[in-house]
Amino acid sequence: MSSIKTDNFTPPKKKNQSAMGEVDPAFIQAIEHRPKSETIEVEGIPLIDLSPLNLPEFNSDAVSHLVTEIGEACKNWGFFQVINHGVPLKASEKIQLAAKKFFHLPKEEKKKVSRDEINPYGYYDTEHTKNVRDWKEVFDFTLQNPMILPASHDPDDKDLRKLFNHWPENPPELREACEEYAAEVKKLSFKLLELIALSLGLTKDRLNDFFEDHTSFIRLNYYPPCPISDLALGVGRHKDAGALTVLAQDDVGGLQVKRKTDGEWILVKPTPNAFIINVGDIIQVWSNDKYESVEHRVKVNSEKERFSIPLFVNPAHYTLVEPLEELVGEQNPAKYKAYNWGKFFVTRKLSNYKKLDVENVQIYHFKN
Ligand SMILES: O=C(O)CCC(=O)C(=O)O
Ligand SMILES: [Fe+2]
């Protein structure tokens, strides 16, 4: 299959090919971005035990060891997994079950809660990453409901818009499962932001103010079995634009991280009940490139469906993202100009939905 070129690819016409029907050539990755059939499986991504946070008495040695581990992982990998994180297993199981029920519904039913150009929250099956369609379906919901975002990507338009979640009628338990899970995983994300702040030599609460009116959202990802799993990706290579991502994955596996030392794609082996954490572009800018946001992608499976649930932890829309003043100086001048998170986010969201008249915004556009 790997000899098929992008430009002359003819979709195979086997019956019952996939839940997505006929294979659209829009799914085909350029040769250099196709997944290899074998991926390197190493115990690479650090596994960090958060239990020192749950001790009845504060143990400063244990916590400083944890802070060092987190700092090393952010610097060397941009990714790590956490266990003993405090998110109840019940909350994770409940949302996973409800998500599965939702995605197994007929398309017409799911489309009742479709996202649109104005409100990017709800169901969606045609997201493109770098102009290639992802082999996935998603359902997005915000933690703050309503969420306040700029009304448009136009820098001169100062209007704001209130966005509400689109909850489906089916399965009826989805909303509660999502809200309960969101409350738990949010607590974990704030603990992680504090540990990351400490690891950068900042005060524990240094980042908290940015998140008072946060624009975080949770995505339910569904990757159906894929008949062209050597040609397509569940999510094409990308970096997460927000501050931090807290991801739950099932036991199928497929997430690959680009190793910083040699650029190889490394599979993040599923660890039961662990969360995968990665630094996003905003932490890269805040830390003035000390912690880099790392590229990752999702390989799909020809037989098995896969589910994952990322929480994208994002600051308030009015946040001006720039290197933190404590982390710049004469020896280490700011590598980025300030940018407005709300405008950045809205531009990205819209460009995932339709082709825009502006280039897809990236943090390197703000490099000094
Ligand atoms: O499904 C996954 O493992 C990761 C998904 C992802 O990277 C994303 O949605 O940004
Ligand atoms: Fe991602």
Q: What is the pLDDT of residue 118?
A: 84
Residues having C-beta closer than 5 Å to ion ligand 2: 240
* ipTM exceeds 0.85: yes
Map residue 147 onto helix, strand or coil.
Answer: strand
Q: Give the closest residue to 296 by CA, choosing from 262, 273, 261, 268.
A: 268
Number of H helices, E strands in the chain: 6, 18
Q: Which atom of ligand 1 is nearest to the CA of 268?
A: 3
Q: Which atom of ligand 1 is nearest to the CA of 255?
A: 3
Q: Which atom of ligand 1 is nearest to the CA of 297?
A: 7
Q: What is the pTM of this model?
A: 0.92
Q: How confident is the prediction along the chain (368 residues), in pLDDT tens digits per residue?
A: 333 333 334 444 444 444 455 778 899 999 999 988 766 666 679 999 999 998 888 888 999 999 999 999 999 999 999 999 999 999 999 999 999 999 999 999 999 999 988 888 999 998 888 888 999 999 999 999 999 999 998 889 999 999 999 999 999 999 999 999 999 999 999 999 999 999 999 999 999 999 999 999 999 999 999 999 999 999 999 999 999 999 999 999 999 999 999 999 999 999 999 999 999 999 999 999 999 999 999 999 999 999 999 999 999 999 999 999 999 999 999 999 999 999 999 988 877 666 556 667 888 999 99
* Dihedral class, residue 271 (left if φ above 0, else alpha if ψ from -120 to 50, else beta): beta
Full set of structural domains in the chain with CATH: 26-366 (2.60.120.330)
- Preceding amide of 25 cis, omega within 30: no
Query: Long-range contact list for 170-177, CB < 8 A, 24+ apart?
Result: 170/101, 170/102, 170/105, 170/109, 171/98, 171/101, 171/102, 171/105, 173/94, 173/98, 174/98, 174/99, 174/101, 174/102, 177/91, 177/94, 177/95, 177/97, 177/98, 177/99
Q: Give the closest residue to 50 by CA, choosing from 204, 159, 178, 189.
A: 189
Nearest C-alpha to atom 10 of ligand 1 is from which residue?
240
Map residue 308 onto helix, strand or coil.
Answer: strand
Q: How far is the CA of 157 from the centre of ligand 1 (A)?
A: 31
The letter for the amino acid at 94 is K
> What Cα–Cα distance (Å) separates residue 227 from each residue in 224, 231, 305?
10, 9, 12
> What Cα–Cα distance (Å) separates residue 232 from each residue in 37, 60, 334?
12, 47, 38
Half-sphere exposure of 247 (CA within 13 A, CB side): 26
- Cβ < 6 A, ligand 1 pocket: 219, 221, 235, 240, 247, 249, 255, 296, 298, 308, 310
Q: How far is the CA of 205 from the centre of ligand 1 (A)?
A: 28
Q: Other C-beta atoms within 10 Å of 65: how many?
A: 12
Q: Which two tokens stand for residue 313?
A: 């932890």
